[in-house]
Structure 1
Amino acid sequence: MTHLTLYTTLGCHLCERLEALLDVLHEGEYRLNKVEISEDEALMQRYGVRIPVLVDEAGEELDLGFEPPRLANWLAERGRLDEAVWRRLQAGVGESGSGGHDTVKTTGKTTARSSGRRYLG
């Protein structure tokens, strides 16, 4: 099992996006420890303008992990990328082009799309 830390704050929509992407793209089990930065001045100084920041067990940080290619590359470097799901996301599987909602279900992970934009949930 992979142990990851997410530096976040309440109401961070980019953090929520990263979590949704992580749930879809991470291969295997992982434990995510969320650290609220607003409760610690040192964490606010370090991560305040960088959140969400994802950190692996070795202390390697990922900024901008809410961008799918960045998260996919970061997970691939650690041998934790679900390659099949990533290929389907890149190919736009389930895209209807009609503006409606399509859902792609892959190994218990769901990706909903609307109007050509990708929403993870």
Structure 2
Amino acid sequence: MTRLTLYTTLGCHLCERLETLLAVLHRGEYRLERVEISDDTALMARYAVRIPVLADAAGDELDMGFEPPRLAAWLEARGRLDSSAWRRLQAGGLELEPEPSPAREREPLARRPAGRRYLG
């Protein structure tokens, strides 16, 4: 099983796109740990303008993984690209529908100023 880390923040639509692409293009099982960057000053300094950032267990990072060719190349380099799904996606034979993330929607509002989180 592949272990991956996604540096993200609440409401990041590019992060959601990356997660959707990952579900389609990753071959085999994976475990995705989501790290909320707005809870940590150091993470904000490192990732605020780069999210989503996907990292593998070795710490190798991928910026802009929401772009299918970038994610496909990154997964291929790790032997985890589902080549047939990638070909179907390139040919327009796959529709990408974002999967709902109920765990993120249940986050307590008390941790978010005025019910929202902002990077700025």
- TM bucket (normalised to shorter chain) is 0.7 to 0.9
On the 8 A contact 1:7/1:54 being kept in 2, the answer is yes
Aligned to 2:21: 21
Q: 2:46 and 2:97 mapped to 1: Cα distance?
A: 28
Matched, 1:72 2:72: yes
Given residue 63 of structure 2, which amino acid in structure 1 is its aligned partner? D
Mapping of residues 24-103 of structure 1, within 5 Å: 24-93=24-93
Question: How many pairs does the alignment contain?
Answer: 98
Q: 2:89 and 2:47 mapped to 1: Cα distance?
A: 29
Q: 2:57 and 2:40 mapped to 1: Cα distance?
A: 21
Classify the secondary structure of the residue corresponding to 1:92. Answer: coil
Using the size of structure 1 for normalisation, the TM-score is 0.79
Aligned-residue identity in percent:
73
Given residue 59 of structure 1, which amino acid in structure 2 is its aligned partner? G
**Aligned CA-pair RMSD:** 0.8
Q: 1:68 and 1:74 mapped to 2: Cα distance?
A: 10
Aligned to 1:120: 97
Q: CA deviation at 1:120?
A: 3.1
* Higher RCO (Cα < 8 Å, 6 or more apart): 2
Classify the secondary structure of the residue corresponding to 2:51. Answer: coil
Q: 2:97 and 2:89 mapped to 1: Cα distance?
A: 11
Which of the pair is proportionally richer in helix? 2
Q: Which runs of 5+ in 2 are unaligned?
A: 99-120
Q: 2:49 and 2:26 mapped to 1: Cα distance?
A: 25
Superimposed CA distance per residue, residues 21-70 of structure 1 (whole angstroms, 9 cap, x where no aligned partner): 00000000000000000000000000000000000011000000000000
Q: Which runs of 5+ in 1 are unaligned?
A: 94-110, 113-118
Using the size of structure 2 for normalisation, the TM-score is 0.79
Which of the pair is proportionally richer in strand? 1
